[in-house]
Amino acid sequence: QVQLVESGGGLVQAGGSLTLSCAAPGLIYRIDAMGWYRQAPGKERESVARITTAGMTNYADSVKGRFTISRDNGKNTVYQRMSSLKPEDAAVYYCNAESVWVVGGPVGGTDYWGKGTLVTVSS
């Protein structure tokens, strides 16, 4: 079992910046992709950004040009720099790790989710 450790959420004024981080501790030798999702009250969880081991990235249209996802493969950690934050960016942000291969674990890897970190944006 891998427990993703998220940090970096908080309260920020509109136009401000925050950086989220998510680490996947343990005897992990491969994580195919890592990313961030968010869920605002009354809305469905949506994908925000994703990055593969090779560094290929995908962003939701709503955050392109404002959010930057990066990854430290050696530390199994993903970061998301969020700039020019808007009130509509407020949500609980969840880290996702796709196909995590753990020493002694199942072939094919397992997906994991973090518990979420709250981002509040004041107008």
pLDDT tens digit at each of 123 positions of the chain: 889 999 999 999 999 999 999 999 988 889 999 999 999 999 999 999 999 999 999 999 999 999 999 999 999 999 999 999 999 999 999 999 999 999 888 877 899 999 999 999 999
Residue 31's contacts (CB-CB under 8 Å, 6 or more residues apart) are 24, 53, 73, 76, 97, 98, 99, 100, 101, 109
Residue 3, amino acid: Q
Residue 88's contacts (CB-CB under 8 Å, 6 or more residues apart) are 40, 62, 121
Note the pLDDT of residue 108: 77
Note the pLDDT of residue 57: 98
In whole angstroms, what is the distance from residue 77 CA to residue 100 CA? 12
Q: What are the two backbone dihedrals, phi and then psi, of residue 77, each rounded to the nearest 5 degrees? A: -130, 140
Note the pLDDT of residue 35: 98
